[in-house]
């Protein structure tokens, strides 16, 4: 790190927000550092202050509350992967954390850093979106709540203000529903996702899709819920033809959002194929 970067380590949210109120635009919050330190070392990112947020108790912890499943922004990916509460109430998020980076990366990286970094291929984004998660931010004007999909303005462009911190995420819990998170990378481990997807679904009494939330990651500028696919599948009994049509719609929507690029040759069939794998267990169980 450059020697002229100053390190601060507040021990409460109030202290952190007070500092950001005065120095926000020249400060970068530091959580696990797995993205931030790389950008600072490469010279790509300049900051006068680095604010270590690891001592802020308000950013810690996983608990079921009256509002939903609360996960502190400073919770590490390893803590989420090993949480029994997450396993029961948000297993799709847990699944994304199990294949995240390496054990060393999972021990340092936080969910707040993953969302604030706003990478299109951030692994926890699609699961948080299918859980209709609210991100709770704190800044000099108090608390601000936004749907998690609005936390990213574009690739690596965060909507979290320079005087704000993400404090926690509130997920709608989902127990007993079908869930899946899948990603394709260039290799099996330590790979950044080229295409990823998350789904939560439930069948009704007839065996048709009664509830579904579907999110595409790594193939649009920001991960996004594809409502057209959800609407198409709702009320239908899943068979191979219906799932194939859902995959075609997902790929069509991806091209509509991202435009045709050189990678579309690979991504269009990849989205269709991955979508089939995603929902195949729901077909098979009939």
Ligand X SMILES: Cc1cc2nc3c(=O)[nH]c(=O)nc-3n(C[C@H](O)[C@H](O)[C@H](O)COP(=O)(O)OP(=O)(O)OC[C@H]3O[C@@H](n4cnc5c(N)ncnc54)[C@H](O)[C@@H]3O)c2cc1C
Chain residues binding ligand X by CB under 6 A are 28-36, 53, 59, 73, 100-101, 105, 108-110, 112-114, 116-117, 122-123, 160, 165-166, 190
Report the DSSP beta bridge partners of residue 201: 178, 212
Please report which residue ranges of 180-239 form alpha helices under DSSP H: 227-233
3-state SS assignment for residue 139: strand
3-state SS assignment for residue 214: strand
3-state SS assignment for residue 133: coil
CA pair distance 80, 97, nearest whole angstrom = 7
CB of residue 159 to ligand X, shortest distance in Å: 11
The residue (of 163 and 225) whose beta carbon lies closer to ligand X is 163
CB of residue 12 to ligand X, shortest distance in Å: 14
CA pair distance 227, 253, nearest whole angstrom = 10
Q: Which helix (H) or strand (E) holds 182?
A: strand 178-184
CB of residue 242 to ligand X, shortest distance in Å: 31
CB of residue 225 to ligand X, shortest distance in Å: 18
The residue (of 165 and 271) whose beta carbon lies closer to ligand X is 165
Residue pair 158/117 in contact by the 8 Å Cβ criterion: yes
The residue (of 209 and 215) whose beta carbon lies closer to ligand X is 215
The residue (of 136 and 233) whose beta carbon lies closer to ligand X is 136
The residue (of 23 and 177) whose beta carbon lies closer to ligand X is 23
CA pair distance 89, 85, nearest whole angstrom = 6
CB of residue 196 to ligand X, shortest distance in Å: 9
- The structure tokens 């294949």 sit at 99
CB of residue 140 to ligand X, shortest distance in Å: 14
CA pair distance 149, 242, nearest whole angstrom = 27
Residue with CB nearest ligand X? 113
The residue (of 69 and 128) whose beta carbon lies closer to ligand X is 128
CA pair distance 135, 132, nearest whole angstrom = 10
The residue (of 5 and 227) whose beta carbon lies closer to ligand X is 5
Neighbours of 65 (CB within 10 A): 9
CB of residue 35 to ligand X, shortest distance in Å: 4
């Amino acid at each position: 790190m450059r020697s002229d970067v100053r390190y601060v380590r507040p021990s409460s949210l109030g202290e952190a927000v007070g500092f950001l109120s005065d120095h926000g635009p020249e400060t970068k919050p530091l959580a696990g550092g797995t993205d931030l330190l790389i950008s600072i070392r490469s010279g790509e990112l300049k900051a006068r202050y680095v604010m270590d947020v690891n001592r802020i108790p308000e950013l810690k912890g996983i608990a079921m509350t009256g509002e939903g499943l609360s996960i502190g922004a400073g919770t590490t990916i390893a803590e989420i992967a090993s949480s029994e509460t997450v396993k029961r109430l948000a297993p799709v998020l847990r699944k994304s954390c199990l294949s995240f980076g390496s054990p060393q990366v999972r021990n340092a990286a936080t969910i707040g850093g993953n969302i604030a970094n706003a990478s299109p291929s951030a692994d926890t984004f699609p699961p948080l979106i299918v859980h209709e998660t609210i991100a709770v931010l704190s800044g000099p004007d108090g608390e601000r709540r936004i749907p998690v999909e609005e936390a990213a303005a574009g690739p690596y462009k965060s909507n979290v203000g320079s005087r704000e911190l993400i404090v926690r995420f509130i997920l709608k819990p989902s127990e007993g529903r079908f869930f899946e998170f899948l990603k394709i990378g260039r290799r099996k481990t330590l790979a950044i996702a080229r295409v990823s997807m998350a789904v939560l679904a439930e069948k009704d009494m007839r065996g048709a899709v009664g509830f579904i939330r579907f999110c595409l990651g790594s193939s649009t500028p920001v991960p996004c819920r594809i409502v057209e696919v959800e609407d198409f599948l709702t009320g239908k009994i899943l068979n191979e033809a219906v799932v194939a049509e859902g995959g075609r719609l997902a790929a069509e929507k991806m091209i509509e959002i991202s435009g045709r690029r050189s990678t579309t040759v690979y991504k269009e069939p990849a989205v269709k194929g991955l979508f089939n794998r995603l929902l195949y267990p729901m077909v098979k169980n009939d």
